[in-house]
Amino acid sequence: MADSRLHDVIHCEGEVCRTYEQELIGEEPLLIRVEGQPYSVVMRTPGEEIFHAAGFCLSEGLVDGPEDFATIGCCDQDNTNVATVTLKPARRKQVASLLKRRGFISQTSCGICGKEVVEDFCQILSPTADETRISVSQAVGCVNELSHVQHLHKRTRSAHAAMLFDSELHLLAVAEDVGRHNALDKAIGEALMNEKLAKARLAVLSSRMSYEMVQKGARARLPILVSVSRPTTLAIELGTSLNMTLACLSRQNGLFVFCGNERLVER
């Protein structure tokens, strides 16, 4: 599987058209099986399947750390689209109710109201007491680092990215994917499996910040999320309830801060 492929495209300007090759981002389904049963299918850019599955399981509440996995893997044959996860017996008992409601948390349902979503998520999330402080200029600088790590986006113009930093703003993990949720899951999964997630304090996102992104950040115990685009109202509601800091870039190269402004200081 390839994260991108060359395709012939026709570019027309006025009455003049020409054919040339353009690199386009790959998109394939990934079936995540948990305890031998299908749990969810996500559309993603091929690559880093182990990290993706690990981050997804953390976001869903199926695991709290790498020690909860009995096994995690995927077929090493070409064109495989299945990741398999088994849990330690003790963990399997703890999350038995989640295993029965496969795929519920990871899906956005048009028929569920915002209050119910927040209440449902808060059952597996807890507010953060982290008091990390960074300056506005430091946060903006981290967002500006996106342009240096988005190699797939530079080639395809179609990839989202997520970056994780520690309290000293050292880069811990970075991932790109056609899906913004997948990019964050992959970055979180990389830090989780490399035993660096406990150090993570800041996530930088190339996309808008929806409630799913806040949920994933909260499960990873990230107190600060900064994105390129503005959050949704439900994301702010969820972030506020979890004592998180949510911010995005402003046009003047500053930040709009929507909640948790005490973590962002001027220096």
| SS3 call for 249 | strand
Question: Mean of the per-residue pLDDT values for the chain?
Answer: 87
Segment 36-53 mean pLDDT: 93
What is the reported pLDDT for 226? 96
What is the reported pLDDT for 37? 92
What is the reported pLDDT for 112? 39
Set 12, 17, 110, 248: catalytic member:
110
Strand locations in the chain, DSSP E?
4-13, 16-25, 28-34, 37-44, 69-74, 82-87, 134-135, 160-166, 171-177, 200-205, 224-227, 245-249, 255-259, 264-265
Q: What would the two tokens of residue 110 be?
A: 């048009």
pLDDT tens, 87-141? 999 999 999 988 986 654 343 333 334 445 556 556 668 899 999 999 999 999 9
53 or 79, which is more confident: 53
Segment 196-202 mean pLDDT: 98
pLDDT tens, 67-95? 999 999 987 666 668 999 999 999 999 99
Of 185, 181, 261, nearest in space to 223 by CA? 261
Q: Which of 14-23, 30-39, 155-164, 198-207 has the lowest mean pLDDT?
A: 14-23
- Is position 74 annotated as part of the catalytic site? no
Q: What percent of the chain has pLDDT over 90?
A: 61
Which domains, from first to last, does the chain contain?
28-112 (3.10.20.10), 134-265 (3.40.140.10)
CB of 214 within 8 A of CB of 225? yes
pLDDT tens, 139-182? 999 999 999 999 998 898 889 999 999 999 999 999 999 999 99
Instruction: Check whether 26 has a pLDDT greater than 50.
Output: yes
11 or 167, which is more confident: 167
